[in-house]
Chains A and B, each alone.
Chain A
Amino acid sequence: MTPEDMRYLLVGAGLFILGAIGFLTRRNLILMVLCAELMLHGVSLSMVTFGRIHQTNEGQAFTIFTLTVAACEAGLALSLVLALYRKSHSLDIQLWSELRDPDVPGPKPDEPETGSGATGSSYGEIPTLTVAGPAPLEPVAGGR
């Protein structure tokens, strides 16, 4: 194993670790599925490198099968996410923590967030204007 091969293996390991961190920390269902795909990328890179170390095509052939399974997994995961979304109307994974065993402690409730993210807007702080003059008329449905 040459140092060049080792670098590729390390990058593969890094991608796998990043995917694992994201899968364990994020609460969005779709991002969790994406993080699983990132872990698959790391493994694919490692397998291609192994195939190159051994000078065979088997690593690449196996990675192609991994790609096939990943495509199946993405399709099934998305339809499952949609089915879950119909039940809970949210992509939050913690809404499904009621499926846990009765003796397992549940997730901690969210503490109110401090800082600019508390407004719930992704734009950060939005300046507010002082109200001046009468409020504009609401548009009437069907009217002018």
Chain B
Amino acid sequence: MEWFQKNPLALAGLVAWIVGILMLMPGRKATSVRIPRLGLLVTAAGVVLFCAGVGGRGPEFANEVMFWTFAVGALLCGVLMITARNPVYGALWFALSTLSTCGLFLLQSAPFLAAATVIVYAGAVIVTFLFVIMLAQQSGAAAYDHRSRNAIPVTLASFVLLGAITLTLHKSPPAFSKRDLKEEAKVEVAAAAPPTGMMMVSPDNLPKEKPASKPNQLSLETAKLPVGSMKGLGKSLFGDYLFAVELAGTLLLVACIGAIAIAPRREEGAL
């Protein structure tokens, strides 16, 4: 709580965010045209205040601008998605939120992941969802889209959770700096020299005398390959996790067969 007292901006942002979501939520009494716009304004102000309250200062200006654009865009589009009356608009807001998240992935030096997410979500998932919405809701807006279940307690409880996460993140001491990790990795390599691509940690592989604060073996720094490079990611996927990749392919096949089996047949009648 003291942290929130020192940062009233974050708390005010949270409160404005809650009020804005509750104003935007379908099924509230006042549904005149002006109220949703007011709720949108309040929500946007809340998101911006919260981000300004909790955010640290980064090194570069361009990075800052991109981060704030993507972060506010992702959160605001998320709010608009969960409060959309029309499910088609909800799906489109979700696509925008996905694109903003992909921007954040790019800023976190994960270009392959950003491209894959755009292709999978914006290219496949959203299109399929839109097809299903158009198939199932040909009569336009339905009554149940204009109402929400337990909006006030759910929103309050969820934002209490968000406040708790914020507090915990700001209270927790920095686990280690990257410099410490590098030194420990050097110690590790000198002591044990584990074989490359070794995933199974058996007692034989562990070094005999382990350092006091040894990091997780899986999170050791790969010295030669920079984070996020295609080479490093490919080595990780097809070296360490080859079995898991095969398993994921099998999972896709099984899900495909299952979806075909569950989906209604044409001879069972039209939808």
Contact = CB atoms under 8 A, between A and B. Distances in A.
Interface of A: 1-4, 6-11, 13-15, 17-22, 24-28, 30-31, 33-35, 37-38, 41, 44-45, 48-49, 51-52, 54-58, 60-61, 63-65, 67-76, 78-83, 85-86, 90-94, 107, 110, 113-117, 120-122, 124
3 A-B pairs closest in CB distance? A3-B56, A22-B82, A72-B255
A61 B241 CA distance: 8
Nearest to A81: B132
A60 B231 CA distance: 13
Interface stretch (B167-175, B186-194, B206-214): B167-175
Interface string B117-134: 100110011001100110
B75 interface: yes
Interface residues of B, number: 113
Contacts of A93: 144
A8 B165 CA distance: 13
Contacts of B225: 57
B54 A7 contact: yes
27 contacts: A6-B54, A6-B56, A6-B169, A7-B71, A15-B101, A21-B21, A24-B154, A25-B150, A28-B90, A28-B144, A30-B136, A34-B129, A37-B121, A41-B97, A45-B105, A48-B113, A55-B221, A57-B225, A57-B236, A71-B120, A74-B125, A76-B255, A76-B262, A79-B262, A83-B263, A86-B268, A91-B144
A120 B141 contact: yes
A60 B158 contact: no
A108 B39 CA distance: 26
A103 to B, nearest CB: 19
B5 interface: no
B219 interface: yes
A73 B158 CA distance: 24
Contacts of A63: 110, 113
A127 B130 CA distance: 30
What is the predominant secondary structure among interface residues of chain A facing chain B? Answer: helix
B66 interface: no
Contacts of A7: 51, 54-56, 67, 71
A91 B232 CA distance: 44
B78 A38 contact: yes
B85 to A, nearest CB: 6
Given A48-B108, A61-B237, A54 B181 contact: yes
Interface string B58-75: 100000000100010011
Nearest to A62: B241
Nearest to B83: A22
Contacts of A9: 169
B271 A60 contact: no
Nearest to A24: B154
Chain B CB count within 10 A is highest, among A41, A51, A74, for A41
Contacts of B255: 71-73, 75-76
B87 A30 contact: yes
B82 A18 contact: yes
Contacts of B143: 110, 113, 120
Contacts of B86: 122
Contacts of A37: 94, 121, 125
B263 A57 contact: no
B232 to A, nearest CB: 5
A113 B145 CA distance: 12
Nearest to A38: B78
Contacts of A2: 56, 174
